[in-house]
Chains A and B, each alone.
Chain A
Amino acid sequence: MQASDRFNINSQLEHLQAKYVGTGHADLSRFEWAVNIQRDCYASYVGHYPILGYFAIAENESIGRERYNFMQKMLLPCGLPPEREDD
């Protein structure tokens, strides 16, 4: 850890990760990052009503259905994690 990190939130990476789930670190894999991205995106779609409405029109679904779908997709947005090579 660098000396400068003593003063900011990065000093407690664990704490940071606990508070902001989407934050990353140097050992983050492509898959983990992608999962974070996907979840953030779904959260954002669900959070912005107009964009939810837009998707609803595009897919010809109800807004509630769209919301439900997005929430469901947040569970495993990128499928199962790939086998770790190093273990």
Chain B
Amino acid sequence: MDAEIAKTQEERRRMEQQLASLTSVTFDTDLYGGNDRDAYVTSIPVNEDEENLDAMDNEVARKLASYTAPKSLLKEMPRGGAEDDNEDALGFKKPQRIIDREDDYRKRRLNRVISPERHDAFAAGEKTPDPSVRTYADVMREEALKREKEETLKRIAKKKEEEEAAAKAGSVDKGTEDKGPKRRNRWDQSQDEGAAAAKKAKSTSDWDLPEDATPGRWDATPTPGRLGDATPSASVGRRNRWDETPTPGRLADATPAGAVTPGATPSGMTWDATPKVSGLATPTPKRQRSRWDETPATMGSATPMAGATPAAAAFTPGITPVGGVELATPTPGAINLRGAITPEQYNLLRWEKDIEERNRPLTDEELDAMFPQEGYKILEPPASYVPIRTPARKLLATPTPLGTPLYSIPEENRGQQFDVPKEAPGGLPFMKPEDYQYFGALLNEDDEEELSPEEQKERKIMKLLLKVKNGTPPQRKTALRQLTDKAREFGAGPLFNRILPLLMQPTLEDQERHLLVKVIDRVLYKLDELVRPYVHKILVVIEPLLIDEDYYARVEGREIISNLSKAAGLATMIAAMRPDIDNIDEYVRNTTARAFSVVASALGIPALLPFLKAVCQSKKSWQARHTGIKIVQQIAILIGCAVLPHLRSLVEIIEHGLLDENQKVRTITALSLAALAEAAAPYGIESFDSVLKPLWKGIRSHRGKVLAAFLKAIGFIIPLMDALYASYYTKEVMVILIREFQSPDEEMKKIVLKVVKQCVSTEGVEADYIRNDILPEFFRNFWVRRMALDRRNYRQLVDTTVEIANKVGVADIVGRIVEDLKDESEPYRRMVMETIEKVVANLGASDIDARLEELLIDGILYAFQEQTSDDANVMLNGFGAVVNSLGQRVKPYLPQICGTIKWRLNNKSAKVRQQAADLISRIAVVMKQCQEEQLMGHLGVVLYEYLGEEYPEVLGSILGALKAIVNVIGMTKMTPPIKDLLPRLTPILKNRHEKVQENCIDLVGRIADRGAEFVPAREWMRICFELLEMLKAHKKGIRRATVNTFGYIAKAIGPQDVLATLLNNLKVQERQNRVCTTVAIAIVAETCSPFTVLPALMNEYRVPELNVQNGVLKSLSFLFEYIGEMGKDYIYAVTPLLEDALMDRDLVHRQTAASAVKHMALGVAGLGCEDALVHLLNYVWPNIFETSPHVINAVMEAIEGMRVALGAAVVLNYCLQGLFHPARKVREVYWKIYNSLYIGSQDALVAAYPVLEDEHNNIYSRPELMMFV
């Protein structure tokens, strides 16, 4: 502690000396480098929230506090910013639904079925599993069956295709006969083509980048039988009609209940073959819908909603029930809806409900009221009558009034519900319609007592979950805690059966998912090994999180899976996930691979190695091998350099994949190797020894994607090698690379560029080799205009070229592209410029000879002048970089450059003027180096003339340029002279634009610092007034610069006048202004020594006005903070004032005085002012019972300050009187003080603790302290 104080004091002393020498030139180091102002409070609060005034002191605030809205509403207040979306523009942002931002691949998560729980071998022990329980063997068998079915379907599809092709060929011969099939073919064909095209486009853009969250499309298995497998557009076209047979377990294939099975007759196929089917583009592709399904006639009890398949779905055997099916739903329309309901369907449903409600049949009571009592008889309906339930029919039927009823005042029906959702009983939160299917049971007001314990438990879980999902934060918190605490009591089964279906809800929002995932996380922790039977269920809903585009969702997913694997153990995890490894669906395999990598990182790679080895060598299916190798890739991506200890074994496990018979396996193997090499860099080359040969051989035999993957692997392996080997292997691969330079494939281009970069940056590759063998082809193929159009290509090409330049030098590269600065394509010129900028900034311009220099300057001038849009400032930066690196060599070109600048300063376009001004600030230093002061003076005058600029952005740049010139040529030589320049700046200070303000205040501050004497004092006073306004600026830099400028001005013209202005300013009403003024006063006091300011300041305290007095106190507080140790000379002077303030009735007086005392105490610690401080402490101490937060904080801090200055013992003595006070309120406060005292200086208290008397068998005395030698 002492050392720290000594250090700060030392620093202060140094600063004091600096400040004491008023004559010396102390310029603003904050703005111009250096750091002697570190002690300042660098930010003056602009918002109320940083303020130390108590909110409750303010009358308005106190009143307002009673009018309040829920926090959720207040937080959702309209935000500015024009979004294109209409609703957003209104400022009401809808909560984000997950499904809305998911692409089709990610939506495939909804296709997965939450599997029933499985057998837990650990819990069962030696027992034979109950036949009703699903064991590992069962699951594997099912998977095998599914795969076989898929194979069969694929074969059938293939055969069908062949037949069709044959038929088509035949039909061409036969001419026009056989019209029906032919038409069908045409439809099919066109669709297929379109689909194929779409697929192609998709696959080129979505190449597999393993680090990308989006799984690559190129390892998607196109299994024609499955709808979800292919890309969406493709799926429609590709779908084979033969699949439509209602196979159990496949929802999409479910046929309308009453309809004949389509596909049984060829004519049936034509229905679907119409392009109508493309209306399928609803988010959930499985909800097959065709117009035929909607016919009411065939379906006896059809629900009126669109997509009437649910009835069929419910009949489809073999579907595992997903939660909610058996729940009674209160909404009439939503009877049989299964879990997956699209948002559109919800809307439709709501609408239907509304219509239904209005057009509902008249009840007997209503009819009784309508018709006269006599003369009518109620007839029995005929036996054959079946009521029509479809609204379509009802709407068509014209209502025929049987007679005009007389008007009667309708009786009010109090029980009517007006479509308002039924209020949830028992303080449950609001339920959205989507929630009914999950939580509907809660609305049945059954008697809790009558329910079985099981049902009660279910209800309890549902209630808690609903509270977590839709409740207010406090509700949520308690519900979450209860769920956690009672997790074991509830049991894993009931919990997960409720939670997991919720996570599959299609209308889930981010926030809801986050909360539910949190529930799972907590529950997992409690349930521990009880989760085992549910592992797969949980994985089904959590795995999709791993590929979510939201980073936090991915992290959450990882966390859950990692906890799950710790709770369930490796064996269970493997048993649960093994069947998914060779699942037919690529989506499932992809997510499973990712999940496995998380398991590996949670339980350690070694534990998983034997399993991985077995999987990667699977003979049965290539899918298993593929997934196994992908797991290795994901492990490398996930855990990075931590793979190093296991690198060799991982490589050994996958190396055979390079020679696999399946192309996809070869590809993924190469990608995995790339990931491993990337993770291991720069170590571990020896582990890759075994794969070098197959890789390098492979690049000679492969083409296309496989080749790209192989090249990628090589690109990552080469940097690990020794120089010698790297050079050899680079030469080997370079042949192929150069050949692939010409590849039209965009992905191949990117990979080739990347590999070239990696090879070139390796140590062993010599410049000569690059220059002779690579450069010509490289430039010929890549430095073309087309490359500049795609952003990723652009980046990659620039990076690679810069890397090459690092090897071969500036001249070679710049020489080759300098001509292109005059190319006619602007994006291309920009790419050239950016490359030149980076190369020159990296390596300097010494390599550039006179001729090249000329070309270069010519080129950049051309490019600079021809630019039309330059948002990223590429041209400007490039120009600046080149000029600065050329240094004095630019001299001959400066007149030309300045001519351009001058001309462009006069341009009509604001953008051009701004760029010209910005360019001046970039090259000012170089102009000085070239001794072109006259030219700069000239530019100064020109800029001065443009100070009337209207566009703030441009004006800001002009001011910046002026500042750059003033900085370089100094105050005396500046033209226009400072005395002319400054008066011109004063009105600009009023400008509210941030860029203008910042540049202007910087310039003014600079002048005040260096050349104050050139300007009359009256001008400076005028500027002072303007500066007060600027203390309110939003940008911290502006406020800081303003405060500093105050100091300079005060120093230049003496504090009296400035102070008078500032003190007057304390009387103004606006708080913010006063706060800023107090800071300015403190700054003036610091720069001009406190004795120049304190008398006037203390005199001001006599003004009987609250604001002024508070302002004075606040200034004192800042002042003592800034002057630190210097305060010891003034402490006795201000003590009477502080006494008065600390006894004032006004809270704010005491608060501000307390903070002044704190700063004072901290400043003078150890300087012998204890008497005054104890005196002040006596005034501070009675305030410890204040309740207002700001006041009590200030008081506590003052006491802390006293602890430092007076020592802990003194404060402890003050404390002891209340620690065991009879009144609890008093004790609480005193213990609080004691605690902060204890935390602050525990050790110092040892000597000061009171002597306690021993009690019967307890010894409280401390005899050691009595020892004496």
Contact = CB atoms under 8 A, between A and B. Distances in A.
Interface of A: 2-10, 16, 20, 22-26, 28, 30-31, 33-34, 37-38, 40-41, 44-45, 47, 54-55, 57-59, 77-80, 82
Given A4-B1193, A23-B1238, A23-B1239, A34 B1231 contact: no
B244 to A, nearest CB: 63
A41 B1262 contact: yes
A23 B1219 CA distance: 12
Contacts of B1235: 9-10, 16, 20, 23-24
B1269 A58 contact: yes
Nearest to B1224: A26
A58 B1258 contact: no
A interface, by DSSP: helix, strand, loop or mixed?
Answer: helix
A58 B1239 CA distance: 31
B1227 interface: yes
Nearest to A58: B1267
Contact of A41 (B1219, B1239, B1264): B1264
A3 B1231 contact: no
B1255 to A, nearest CB: 7
Contacts of B1249: 37, 40-41
B1245 A2 contact: no
Contacts of B871: none
30 contacts: A2-B1189, A4-B1187, A4-B1190, A4-B1193, A7-B1193, A9-B1239, A10-B1232, A10-B1236, A22-B1242, A23-B1238, A24-B1234, A24-B1238, A26-B1224, A26-B1227, A28-B1231, A30-B1255, A34-B1260, A37-B1252, A40-B1245, A40-B1246, A41-B1246, A41-B1249, A41-B1262, A41-B1264, A45-B1264, A58-B1267, A58-B1268, A79-B1259, A80-B1257, A80-B1258
Interface in B72-120: none
A33 B1220 CA distance: 11
A20 B1237 CA distance: 12
A9 B1238 CA distance: 13
Interface in B1212-1269: 1219-1220, 1224, 1227-1228, 1231-1232, 1234-1236, 1238-1239, 1242-1243, 1245-1246, 1249, 1252, 1255-1260, 1262, 1264-1265, 1267-1269
Given A3-B1187, A23-B1235, A40-B1243, 16 more contacts: A2-B1192, A3-B1189, A4-B1190, A4-B1192, A5-B1232, A24-B1231, A24-B1238, A38-B1260, A41-B1249, A45-B1264, A54-B1267, A57-B1269, A58-B1268, A58-B1269, A78-B1258, A79-B1257
Contacts of B1267: 54-55, 58-59
Contact of A34 (B1192, B1196, B1252): B1252
A54 B1268 CA distance: 9
Contacts of B1196: 4, 8
Nearest first, the 9 A-B pairs at minimum CB distance are A4-B1189, A4-B1192, A26-B1227, A58-B1267, A23-B1235, A44-B1246, A26-B1228, A34-B1260, A78-B1258
Contacts of A40: 1242-1243, 1245-1246, 1249
Interface string B1180-1198: 0000000111101100100
Interface of B: 1187-1190, 1192-1193, 1196, 1219-1220, 1224, 1227-1228, 1231-1232, 1234-1236, 1238-1239, 1242-1243, 1245-1246, 1249, 1252, 1255-1260, 1262, 1264-1265, 1267-1269
Nearest to B1232: A10
A26 B1249 CA distance: 18
Contacts, number: 98
A47 B1242 CA distance: 12
Contacts of B1231: 24-26, 28
Contacts of B1252: 30, 34, 37
Candidate in A9, A23, A25, A54 with the most chain B CB atoms within 10 angstroms: A23
B1239 to A, nearest CB: 6
A19 to B, nearest CB: 9
A5 to B, nearest CB: 8
Nearest to B1225: A26
Contacts of A10: 1232, 1235-1236
Contacts of A79: 1257-1259
Contacts of A22: 1238, 1242
A54 B1189 contact: no
Nearest to A37: B1249
A63 B483 CA distance: 55
Contacts of B1265: 41
Nearest to B1252: A34
Candidate in B1188, B1235, B1245 with the most chain A CB atoms within 10 angstroms: B1235
A49 to B, nearest CB: 14
Contacts of A33: 1219
Nearest to A51: B1264
A2 B1235 CA distance: 16
Candidate in A34, A38, A55 with the most chain B CB atoms within 10 angstroms: A34
Contacts of B1239: 9, 20, 23
Contacts of A54: 1267, 1269
A47 B594 CA distance: 52
Nearest to A28: B1231
Nearest to A81: B1258
Given A2-B1187, A3-B1189, A10-B1232, A20 B1246 contact: no
A82 B1256 CA distance: 9
Nearest to A41: B1246
A59 B1266 CA distance: 12
B1243 A44 contact: yes
A5 B1192 CA distance: 9
A65 B151 CA distance: 82
A40 B1238 CA distance: 10
Contacts of A3: 1187-1189
Contacts of A59: 1267
Contacts of B1192: 2, 4
Contacts of B1245: 40
B1183 to A, nearest CB: 12
Nearest to A66: B1264
Contacts of B1257: 79-80, 82
Contacts of A38: 1260, 1262
A7 B1191 CA distance: 13
A26 B1258 CA distance: 22
Candidate in A16, A26, A58 with the most chain B CB atoms within 10 angstroms: A26
Candidate in B1188, B1239, B1260 with the most chain A CB atoms within 10 angstroms: B1260
B174 to A, nearest CB: 87
Contacts of B1243: 40, 44, 47
A37 to B, nearest CB: 5
B650 to A, nearest CB: 42
Nearest to A59: B1267
A28 to B, nearest CB: 7
Contact of B1193 (A8, A16, A20): A8
Nearest to A20: B1239
Nearest to B1260: A34
A7 B1190 CA distance: 10
A22 B1235 CA distance: 8
A70 to B, nearest CB: 8
A2 B1187 CA distance: 7
B54 to A, nearest CB: 10
Contacts of B1219: 24, 33
A2 B1258 CA distance: 35
A78 B1256 CA distance: 11
A30 B380 CA distance: 91
A41 B1220 CA distance: 21
Nearest to B1191: A4
Contact of A78 (B1193, B1246, B1260): B1260
Candidate in B1234, B1245, B1258 with the most chain A CB atoms within 10 angstroms: B1258
